[in-house]
Every structure is written in structure tokens, then in C-alpha cells.
Amino acid sequence: MVTWRRTHRWCGACRTELADVPGETARRCPACGLTGFLPLSVAVLVAITRPGRAGGPDELLLVRHAYGPTELWALVAGFVEAGESLEAAAHREVAEEVGLAIGRPTYVDSQPWAMSGPGTLLAGFTATVTDPAAEPVVDPRELTEARWFPVDALPAELPPAYSISRWLIDAVAGPH
């Protein structure tokens, strides 16, 4: 928020110094009335499952990202593009990052996420792969690894309990 206020000091239409709008995350030009709002970036996370093999427990796809805390097993995630629905973003991110197709994503919850900046909102989904025999194909620009885990045998290196990523994992597999 501080950085946004510092970098958005002047009106882009008339060059007058902007003023904060009381009670909002916005700045308004006192001369021409142009109002600018803190940009909102929305990302989706998807907990992807498939039926277990040979009647075993369902499996959850976990990934290791090529950036950030690379030691953690996490979920497929990515930002929503302009003009894209949350569900379309979930389908696109899964296809791009792990080469899988999913059925209709089910919305679970959302969480503001200040660690990515003041205007980030995470939207969490669950989904099942359309082809249970399909294996992930990792996009090395995004991920270092992707693997199916039985929901009753998840790795210890999971996201923290306060994160929506963990909430989604627990929603699928039960608390760990």
C-alpha cells in the first residue's frame, strides 16, 4: 500500500497531485476528479485429485515450484488473466503447468495474500482429472517436480496451516 501511494502521486490526466480517498484504497485528483484504485491481482490454486489405484485411497497432485519456497510441496497455482473467469484460469493453469485436463473446478474458499503484494486475492478450487491414468508433464519454467500422493500418505513438507494452499490440501485429504 505504501509503495502504491508513493508511485501513484500524480494525476495521469492533468498532472495534479492526488489525494487519498477517506475510507477507501483509492486516490483522487482534486482538479479533474480522476480516481485510481489499488490494483487487484487474483490468483487461483487447484487441489487436483484422481481415484486411487487398485481401490486404494484417492491421490492428490502436489508440485514443487521453481520459485519461492522450493522445498515445499504445493498446489498448481497462477494468476487470472484479464477477461478470464476464475474457472477458466484454473483449467489453463493446470494445462500449462502439468499438462493435465480437469473436470469442472469447485470453488472452496478465498484468502487475501499480502506476501505477494497488498492487492493479491487467492481463490481456491478442487478438481478431478478427466483421465485418471494421465501423468503430469512439468513446465520447467514454473515447476521442478509434480507427483501424485495417496491422500493418506502426504509428504511432511506442506504449506503452513494459515495458507489457503494448506486449507485446500486438508479439505481433500483431512488435516495433517
CA–CA–CA angle 38, 3, 30 (5° rounding): 55
Give the pLDDT of residue 70.
82
Distance between CA 43 and CA 63 in Å, rounded?
Answer: 16
Provide the terminal-to-terminal Cα distance of the chain, rounded to the nearest Å.
Answer: 34
Number of domains the chain is built from? 2
Mean pLDDT for the stretch of residues 132-149: 96
Same domain, 30 and 45: no
Q: How confident is the model over 6-64, as pLDDT tens digits?
A: 888 999 999 999 999 999 989 999 999 999 998 889 999 999 999 988 777 899 999 99
Are 137 and 77 part of one and the same domain? Answer: yes
Residue ranges making up the domain that contains 20: 2-37
Partners of 125 in beta bridges: 46, 107
Please indicate, yes or no, whether residues 166 and 149 belong to a single structural domain of this protein: yes
Q: What is residue 7's DSSP assignment?
A: H
CATH of the domain at 156: 3.90.79.10
Same domain, 84 and 121: yes
Share of the chain above pLDDT 90, in %: 79
- pLDDT over 70 (residue 81): yes
> Do residues 52 and 61 make contact, with C-beta atoms less than 8 angstroms apart?
no
Tell me, yes or no, whether 72 and 20 share the same domain: no
Say if residue 133 is in the same domain as residue 91.
yes
Is residue 35 classed as helix, strand or coil in its secondary structure?
strand
* Same domain for 75 and 6: no
- DSSP E strand stretches across the chain: 19-20, 26-28, 35-37, 41-50, 59-65, 76-79, 106-112, 120-128, 143-150
Residues 15 and 82 occupy one common structural domain: no
Cα–Cα distance for residue pair 124/93, rounded to 1 Å: 13
Calpha distance 26→64 (Å, rounded):
36
Per-residue confidence (pLDDT) for residue 113, from 0 to 100: 82
